[in-house]
Amino acid sequence: GELLSLKGINLQGGGLSAAALTPKDHDHIRFAAEIGTDFLGVSFVRNGADVETARMLLRAAGSEAHIIAKIERREAIDHIDEIIATADAIMVARGDLGVEIGDSELPGVQKRLIADARKANSVAITATQMMQSMVQNPQPTRAEVSDVANAVLDGTDAVMLSAETAVGRHPVRVVSAMSRICVAAERHHGTQVTGQRLEARFSRVDETIAMATMYTANRFDIAGILTLTESGSTPKWMSRIRSDIPIYAGTRWPETERRMALYRGVYPVSFDASSVPRGDVNRTAVEKLRSNGLVKDGDRIIITKGDFSGVGGGTNAMKIVEVGQVSGEIE
């Protein structure tokens, strides 16, 4: 085919030597830091070192943004464990990836990447041409409906639109259609409960509380989970376990709210536990959920929190309460 300047090149089978981060990318990273971005997507990542380089550039620019590693090269698949370990999330970017590995390999690789991310307690996003026909048409094809639903059934945390909303004729319709498909897929029994990590040994207290909470919630009459968090680590642990029980994550930090919105099954709630007398935290937080229509009197919910407000990763307690019967407690 014809080659044009400033156009990307893919090689089936991989092997291109181009660096993941160009001098122009360095400028873009500094700009992302200046505008206070929450997530930075790094394209054409090859290995964990590429992710670390991007993080170093972000930190040098004064940003704590989380990094999403876009899996678009065959080399990335060969180094996926180190990429997952160094990035905050991965994106299965199926356009360029499909060119490099071949379209017939793509569905299986997508499933493996999502599974690997969840197993490592990381986050997975599925993207590219999910509702492509809706760039022009007002309704998705049956194949597109199945594609989106299967990504949800695979365990993806999020699905992403690109051309459909960037240049498409029906941006609102396509978002509505994708949301409808995702919600319906999440009601499927296969997405609701998992035995993942039942045999695992844990190294962190907040992880232990998160796993105990999910084990209890999936086996008892629980309407919701309320986790009070600073950094968002506890709801992230929880969201790695499949469940149809909503996780309401209360935090005082807007940046934590925005980051938690990416986690599957997690609903961020603005709540400043440090502004409430210690003995009234549970009652006040539950009342906020009730007044917003998220829970109702008589519902059983699980509350998790730490002894000390303002300490990230300090969750060390869980408690089952009934909405409408939560009294002030001495702590």
pLDDT of 84: 98
Residues 169 and 288 in one domain: no
Specify the number of domains making up the chain: 2
Q: What is the DSSP letter of 202?
A: -
Residues 35 and 143 in one domain: yes
Confidence of residue 63 (pLDDT cuts 50, 70, 90): very high
Confidence of residue 1 (pLDDT cuts 50, 70, 90): low
- Per the domain annotation, does 141 fall within a domain? yes
CA–centroid distance for 306 within its chain? 23
- Per the domain annotation, does 12 fall within a domain? no
Whole-number mean pLDDT of the chain?
90
Residues 174 and 30 in one domain: yes
Answer whether residue 77 shows pLDDT above 60.
yes
Answer whether residue 76 shows pLDDT above 60.
yes
Asked if 238 and 266 count as a contact pair (C-beta separation under 8 A), the reply is yes
Residues 183 and 234 in one domain: no
Answer whether residue 192 shows pLDDT above 90.
no
Confidence of residue 331 (pLDDT cuts 50, 70, 90): very low
Q: What does the pLDDT look like over 287-319, one tens digit per residue?
A: 999 999 999 999 999 999 987 666 667 889 999
Q: Which two tokens stand for residue 172?
A: 């609102």
Residues 47 and 156 in one domain: yes
Q: What does the pLDDT look like over 134-180, one tens digit per residue?
A: 999 999 999 999 999 999 999 999 999 999 999 999 999 999 999 99
Answer whether residue 74 shows pLDDT above 50.
yes
CA–CA separation, 204 and 211 (whole Å):
11
Residues 67 and 216 in one domain: no
b/e per residue, 29-45, with b = 16+ CB within 10 A? beebbeeebbbbbbbbb
Question: For position 259, which CATH number holds?
Answer: 3.40.1380.20
pLDDT of 254: 95
pLDDT of 309: 64
Residue where a domain stops, chosen among 191, 216, 233: 191
Residue 161: phi and psi, rounded to 5, are -105, 150
Written as one letter, the residue type at 29 is I
Residues 217 and 152 in one domain: no
pLDDT of 53: 96
Asked if 239 and 266 count as a contact pair (C-beta separation under 8 A), the reply is yes
Instruction: Name the residue range of residue 226's domain.
Output: 205-322
Residue where a domain stops, chosen among 167, 191, 215: 191
pLDDT of 298: 95
Q: Which two tokens stand for residue 62?
A: 């004064």
Residue where a domain stops, chosen among 191, 217, 232: 191
Confidence of residue 238 (pLDDT cuts 50, 70, 90): very high
Residues 100 and 155 in one domain: yes
Cα atoms in the 13 Å half-sphere on the side-chain side of 127:
22
Q: What is the 3-state secondary structure (H, E, C) of 71-110?
A: ECCHHHHHCHHHHHHHCCEEEEEHHHHHHHHCCCCHHHHH
Residues 55 and 170 in one domain: yes
- Per the domain annotation, does 13 fall within a domain? no
Cα atoms in the 13 Å half-sphere on the side-chain side of 256:
24
CA–CA separation, 133 and 175 (whole Å):
13
Answer whether residue 92 shows pLDDT above 90.
yes
Q: Average of pLDDT values for 232-244?
A: 91
Q: What is the 3-state secondary structure (H, E, C) of 305-319?
A: EECCCCCCCCEEEEE
Answer whether residue 285 shows pLDDT above 50.
yes
Residues 260 and 169 in one domain: no
Asked if 69 and 45 count as a contact pair (C-beta separation under 8 A), the reply is yes
Residues 59 and 186 in one domain: yes
Residues 291 and 245 in one domain: yes
Would the CA dihedral through 34, 35, 36, 39 be positive or negative? negative
Answer whether residue 189 shows pLDDT above 80.
no
pLDDT of 88: 97
